[in-house]
Amino acid sequence: MQTLQKLFLPNMGCGTWAWGNQLLWGYDESMDDQLQSVFNLCVNNGVTLFDTGDSYGTGRLNGRSELLLGRFNREYVGSNQENICIATKLAAYPWRWTRQSMVRACQSSAQRLGRNVDLVQMHWSTANYAPWQEGRLLDGLADVYEQGLVKGVGLSNYGPKRLKQVQKKFAQRGVPITTLQVQYSLLSTYPVTQLQLKDVCDELGIKLIAYSPLALGLLTGKYSVGGSLPKGIRGLLFKQILPGVRSLLTCLQEVAESRNRTISQVAINWCICKGTIPIPGAKSVEQARENIGALGWKLDASEITELDRAAANVDKKMVQNIFQTK
């Protein structure tokens, strides 16, 4: 079985399809050409890991994220085409409770993408609320690998205890876990500082993927107390968190100015310096170009220490994913 390990190179430390769910907020078909341009720009600049999920899109948009990604992949012509790595996450829906349901789900994702999935991941663990369901779903995830439908398998929102249990279970079948995906940013250090997931991943030879590295946009510098905020729940969340993160944003701004970079580029680069693969979102060419600007350089040790200290002193951090296990 071909391994995915060689695909995860340093210049791939910035994916763009984590926004598979975000692009569907206010989405309409007129955005397709713009999103194709985002995809093209990323691949042409060596950003070739794209992460999506089969739950990104419901109702009339059912499976829309995977459908779009598959189309963009087919229509792309240019450099790095052979390095494109498509990852998807299979949801632990309550009606998925057999191992065969996971195999069918992976086959459906491949059909929407128009190609085999490179990396398939369990979107979340059911251990916290339906432990009886998870064993069968994990068996199905391993089946997908054994049947040669994917090059690698990964997990998402798993803590160290559950990760070790699953890794042991998979090792008995000769199925390696390639990646673990968790919410990680300067406003969400919990998986690494408290759960110590990076140490466990390093021990087990697993790559750690950081989703929401810009904390839904809080770490872009675009929002401030008293300023214009997004609508809905996101805006309410920002209103609660922003007053307590001003010192962190100030630190990010100082580092960004000294580096002639943007705040978001520094925040993404911090994730890379921590040995993770950040996957920020991008709906426009401008956002994609800014994300790409986080690559090709590294913060120095003193800058990382300053940012670590500022992150540790914020009054209120991001809400953790409710599916994150211990």
DSSP states along 243-272: GGGHHHHHHHHHHHHHHT--HHHHHHHHHH
The residues, any chain, with a CB within 8 Å of residue 308's CB and separated by 6 or more, are none
Q: Is 223 a catalytic residue?
A: no
- Find the catalytic residue in 56, 184, 190, 223: 56
Domains of the chain plus CATH, in order, are 9-217+264-299 (3.20.20.100)
**DSSP 8-state secondary structure symbol assigned to residue 321:** P
Report how far residue 237's alpha carbon sits from residue 225's, in angstroms, rounded to the nearest whole number: 12
Digit-by-digit pLDDT tens for the chain (326 residues) are 334 443 443 333 334 434 344 444 445 566 788 889 999 999 999 889 999 999 886 445 567 889 999 999 999 999 999 999 999 999 999 999 999 999 999 999 999 999 999 999 999 999 989 999 999 999 999 999 999 999 999 999 999 999 999 999 999 999 999 999 999 999 999 999 999 999 999 999 999 999 999 999 999 999 988 889 988 998 999 999 999 999 999 999 999 999 999 999 999 999 999 999 999 988 889 999 999 999 999 999 999 999 999 999 998 888 888 899 98
Report how far residue 151's alpha carbon sits from residue 149's, in angstroms, rounded to the nearest whole number: 7
- In this prediction the pTM is 0.91
Can you tell me whether residue 119 is helix, strand or coil? strand
